[in-house]
Amino acid sequence: MKIKYIIPFLLTIIFSIQGFSQVKKDKKAIKYAKTIKAEELREKLYIYASDEFEGRGTPSKGQELAIKYLENHYISKNIKPLQEGTYFQEVPSPTGLRGRRAPDWSESDIKPNNVIAYIEGDEHPDEYIIITAHLDHVGMENGEIYNGADDDGSGTVAILEIAEAFKQAANDGHGPNRSIVFLHVTAEEMGLIGSRYYTDEDPIVPLKNTVTNLNIDMIGRTDPKRPKRNREYIYIIGSDKISQELHDINHEVNNLYLNIDLDYVFNADDDPNRFYYRSDHYNFAKNGVPAIFYFSGTHEDYHQPTDTVEKIQYDLLELRTKLIFHTAWELANREARIKNK
């Protein structure tokens, strides 16, 4: 091969390799990921999915207690509210919503709220990584409490641990370059109402400035119907729908730090379960925000009073929470904002 052809050929290979490997190992990320611990997740979840919160139905006194718990947690860790003076975003009763779990709470004294905290970015404070989980569950039925330990207590406490890890980094002088928003949405069980209100009616930060949404819903158990029987897996849904770069980064982060089995079976466009449309990331995605839905699957206790804290597999909850933290860290601190397709 002539020299004039060899040089461009070699440059093409070099650029291809660089493009393929976007993520570099970050010792700081490893340090703060270690603060995410199974025992702390367990401690939080035993409170959040306790009988005291009465299944966190929308609206209910139990959900009010859950919301207050989240507020107090952020206050205790000195993590600020996204809005001036309040962690709460009141969600009005929807109109024209179908479904058996869609009561009209417009006349109720109890008003459901989203809970929103954040850590401001150092270099790009007006670019936002939004991490979501739904704070509600189905409440009480026929006198039984539906605690919702996995759905979505697991996602809720995962966010709290991720928030603590980012805050510890910020306290040590390693704050994120982009802002990290911790958004706990209400009324997911009624049709994604809290996240729909945030995205469609009152986005506290502009959707055009929202880099991505990482949504966590049920990551504390294993799927008994999954053909592969390895435990250390997570279903990844939606990661490549809007941004191939987001998909690639999540994949590379996993290979670099954790090596969990990333299972894309429910990401197929023809997936009959339609999970892509069934959790809060969808309201971001339909508005053009790249999103990942992290999910470990349904089980026999899904939407049953038996979805309780002792059935959570806390080692897996820790592992999966670390993956989401590492992905958020990379997205927040990389030089360039990820691009849509």
Residue ranges of domains in the chain? 26-333
**pLDDT recorded at residue 245:** 98
Distance of alpha carbon 288 from alpha carbon 133, whole angstroms: 19
* pLDDT tens readout for residues 268-282: 999 999 999 999 999
* Helix/strand/coil for 115: strand
CB neighbourhood size of 235 (10 A): 21
CB 87 within 8 A of CB 117: yes
First-to-final CA distance of the chain: 35
Q: What are phi and psi of 161, to 5 degrees?
A: -70, -40
Structure tokens at 102: 């869609």
Partners of 146 in beta bridges: 139
* Helix/strand/coil for 216: strand
Structure tokens at 143: 């006198």
* pLDDT tens readout for residues 178-207: 999 999 999 999 999 999 999 999 999 999
Sign of CA dihedral 118, 309, 43, 137: positive
Structure tokens at 94: 């929807």
- CA 173, chain centre distance (Å): 25
CATH superfamily for 26-333 is Zn peptidases (3.40.630.10)
Q: How many CA atoms lie within 13 A of 188 on its CB side?
A: 31
Distance of alpha carbon 175 from alpha carbon 119, whole angstroms: 8
Spatial CB neighbours of 270, under 8 Å, sequence gap ≥ 6: none
Q: Where are the alpha helices (DSSP H) in the chain?
A: 3-20, 27-33, 38-48, 61-76, 155-171, 193-200, 244-257, 281-285, 314-333
Q: How many CA atoms lie within 13 A of 27 on its CB side?
A: 0
pTM: 0.93
At 115, which amino acid appears?
V
At 34, which amino acid appears?
K
* Helix/strand/coil for 209: helix
Confidence of residue 101 (pLDDT cuts 50, 70, 90): low
* pLDDT tens readout for residues 123-176: 999 999 999 999 999 999 999 999 999 999 999 999 999 999 999 999 999 999
